[in-house]
Structure 1
Amino acid sequence: MNKFKIFSIAFLASVTSGFAQDVNAAKKAIDAEQYENAKSILKSIIKANPIDGRANFILGNVYLIQTVTDSAKIAFQRGLAGTDGARLNHIGLGTIDLDNGNTTAAEANFGLALKDTKKKDIEELIAIGRAYTYSTKPNFKKAIEVLNKAKLINPNDAIVQLALGDAYIGDKNQNDAYAAYRNAFQFDPTLLRAKMQLGVLLKGAKSYDEAIKSFNEVIALNPNYGPVYRELAETYYKWGRNKPSKSAEYMQTAIGHYEKYLSLTDHSLHSRMRHADFLVLVKDYKALEAEANKMIEMDKVNPRIFRYLGYSAYENGNVDLAIKSLESFIANPDNKVIAKDYMYLGTAKFKKGLSADGLSIDSNLYNSGLSDIKKSIEIDPASVEELNEIGKKMFTAKLYKEAIPVFELGTTNPEDKNYTEDNIYYGLSIYYSNTKKEVKDIVELQKADVAFEKVSVASPTYLDAYIYRARTNSMIGNDELTIKFYETYIAKISEKGPEELAKPTTTKKVIESYNNIAASYANTDKAKAIEYLNKTLAIDPTNDYATKSLLKLK
Structure 2
Amino acid sequence: MSKLRIAAFTAFILGSSAIQAQDTNAALKAIDGEQYEKAKTILKSIIQSKPSDGRASFLLGKVYLKQDVEDSAKVVFDKGITAKDDGNLNYIGLGEIDLNNNNTSGAQANFTNALKDVRKKDTEEYVYIAKAYMDADKPDFKNALTTLEKAKVANAQDAQVQLALGDAYFGNKNQNEAYVSYRSAAQIDPTLIRAKMQLGVLLKFARAFAEADKAFKGIVATNPDYGPVYRELAETYYLWGNNEPKKYNEYVKQAVTYYEKYMSLTDYSLASRMRHADFLILAKDYKALEVEADQMKKIDNVNPRILRYLGYSAYENGNTDVAIKSLQDFIANPKSKVIARDHMYLGLSKLKKAAGTAGQPVDTALFDQGVADIKKAVEMDNTLTADLSELGKTFFDQKLFREAAAIYEIAVSNPESKNYTQDLFYYGYALYYANNRKDAKPDMDQLVKAEAAFAKVAENSPTTQDAHLFRARANSLMEKNAEMAKSYEDYIRVASEKGPEELAKEATKKKLVEAYNNAGAFYAATNDKVKAKDYFNKSIAISPTDEFATQSLKKL
TM-score, normalised to structure 1, is 0.94
Matched residue, 2:419:
418
Q: How does 1:192-341 map to 2 (within 5 A)?
A: 192-341=193-342
The separation in 2 between residues aligned to 1:367 and 1:305, in whole angstroms, is 27
C-alpha contact (below 8 Å) 2:385/2:414 kept by paired residues: no
| Aligned equivalent of 1:484 | 486
On the 8 A contact 1:158/1:184 being kept in 2, the answer is: yes
SS of the aligned residue for 2:156 comes to coil
Return the offset for 1:553. Answer: 3.7
Which is worse superposed, 457-466 or 379-388? 379-388
Q: d(CA) in 1 for partners of 2:520 and 2:313?
A: 56
What is the alpha-carbon distance in structure 1 between the residues aligned to residue 298 and residue 483 of structure 2?
Answer: 66
| Greater Cα shift, 65-74 or 506-515 | 506-515
Deviates more, 1:287-296 or 1:510-519: 510-519
Q: Which moved more, 1:127-136 or 1:113-122?
A: 113-122
Q: 2:31 & 2:372 partners in 1: Cα distance?
A: 42
Provide the C-alpha distance between the structure 1 equivalents of 2:131 and 2:397, rounded to a whole number of angstroms: 52
User: Is 2:385 aligned against 1:380?
Assistant: no
* Distance in 2, Cα, partners of 1:417 & 1:424: 13
Q: Give the equivalent residue in structure 2 for 1:538.
A: 541
Q: Is contact 2:304–2:333 with CA below 8 Å preserved after alignment?
A: yes
**Aligned-partner Cα distance in 1 for 2:554–2:413:** 46
Quickly say closer, same or farther: Cα 1:243–1:358, change in 2 above 3 A. Answer: farther
SS of equivalent to 1:406:
helix
Compared CA separation, residues 44 and 368, structure 1 to 2 (3 A): same
Once residues 451 and 484 of structure 2 are traced to their aligned partners in structure 1, the CA distance between those partners, rounded to angstroms, is 11
In structure 2, C-alpha distance between the alignment counterparts of 1:116 and 1:329, rounded to whole Å = 44
Q: Does 1:124 align with 2:129?
A: no
Q: CA deviation at 1:544?
A: 5.6
1:466-485 alignment to 2 at 5 Å?
Answer: 466-485=468-487
Asked if residue 155 in structure 1 is aligned to residue 156 in structure 2, the reply is yes
- The separation in 1 between residues aligned to 2:377 and 2:456, in whole angstroms, is 25
Tell me the equivalent position of 1:445. 447
* 1:498 corresponds to: 500
2:26 corresponds in structure 1 to 25
Structure 1 contact 51–78 (Cα < 8 Å) conserved? no
Equivalents in 1 of 2:356, 2:79: separation in Å?
59
Deviation at 1:64, TM superposition (A): 1.0
User: Is 1:456 matched with 2:458?
Assistant: yes
Deviations 1:28-87 (A, max 9, x none): 111111111111111111221234211111101101111111111111122222222222
CA–CA separation in structure 2 for the residues paired with 1:104 and 1:228: 37
2:94–2:110 CA contact under 8 A, matched in 1: yes
1:135 Cα deviation after fit = 2.0
Structure 1 residue 294: deviation in Å? 1.0
Within-5 A mapping of 1:15-164:
15-16=20-21, 20=22, 22-164=23-165
8 A Cα contact 1:530 1:553, kept in partner? no
CA distance in 1, matches of 2:449, 2:297: 49
Measured in 2, the distance between the counterparts of 1:359 and 1:55 equals: 62
Is contact 2:463–2:494 with CA below 8 Å preserved after alignment?
no
Q: Which moved more, 1:434-443 or 1:450-459?
A: 434-443
Q: Does 1:12 align with 2:14?
A: no
Deviation at 1:359, TM superposition (A): 5.0
1:144 and 1:164 in contact (8 A); partners too: yes
Residues 118-140 of structure 1: per-residue CA shift (max 9 Å, x gap): 33332222222222222223332
Question: Contact between 1:307 and 1:341, CA under 8 Å: does it hold in 2?
Answer: yes
Residue 472 of structure 1 aligns with an amino acid whose one-letter code is: A
1:521, 1:440 → 2: CA distance? 25
Counterparts of 1:96 and 1:316, CA distance in 2: 37
Contact 2:130 2:148 in 1 (8 A): yes
Contact 1:33–1:265 (CA under 8 A) maintained in structure 2: yes
Structure 1 position 550, deviation (Å): 5.2
CA positional deviation for 1:309: 0.5
Q: Say whether 1:361 aligns with 2:359.
A: no
1:411 and 1:107 map into 2 onto residues whose CA distance is 42
| Aligned partners of 1:128 and 1:143 also within 8 Å | yes
Distance 2:130 2:481 in 1: 70
Stretches of structure 1 that go unaligned for 5 or more consecutive residues are: none
- Alignment root-mean-square deviation, CA: 2.1
Contact 2:159 2:189 in 1 (8 A): yes
3-state SS in 1 of match to 2:190: coil
For 1:177 and 1:338, the matched residues in 2 are separated by 29
| Residue 542 of structure 1, CA deviation | 4.2
User: Which whole-Å deviations, capped at 9, do the CAs of 1:324-383 have from their partners, x for residues lacking one?
Assistant: 101110110110111111111111111112243345311211121122112112222222
Could you tell me the TM-score, scaled by structure 2's length?
A: 0.93
- Secondary structure of the residue aligned to 1:5 is helix
Moved more, 285-294 or 247-256: 247-256
From the superposition, tell whether residues 141 and 534 of structure 1 become closer, same or farther in structure 2 (CA, over 3 Å).
closer
Specify the SS of the correspondent of 2:448.
helix
Q: Which moved more, 1:142-151 or 1:296-305?
A: 142-151
The secondary structure found in structure 2 opposite 1:435 is coil
2-structure distance, mates of 1:552, 1:295: 80
Point out where structure 2 has 5 or more consecutive residues left out of the alignment: none
Measure how far apart 1:237 and its partner are: 1.9
Residue type matched to 2:17 in 1?
L
> CA 1:138–1:524 in structure 2 vs 1: closer, same or farther (change >3 Å)?
closer
Distance 1:485 1:219 in 2: 65
Distance 1:395 1:80, change over 3 A: same
Q: For 2:164 and 2:141, how far apart are their aligned partners in 1?
A: 11
Instruction: Tell me, in whole angstroms, the C-alpha distance in 2 between the residues paired with 1:396 and 1:519.
Output: 33
Q: Distance in 1 between matches of 2:473 and 2:317?
A: 41
Distance 1:123 1:523, change over 3 A: closer
Matched, 1:513 2:515: yes
Native 8 Å contact 1:358 1:397 kept in 2? no
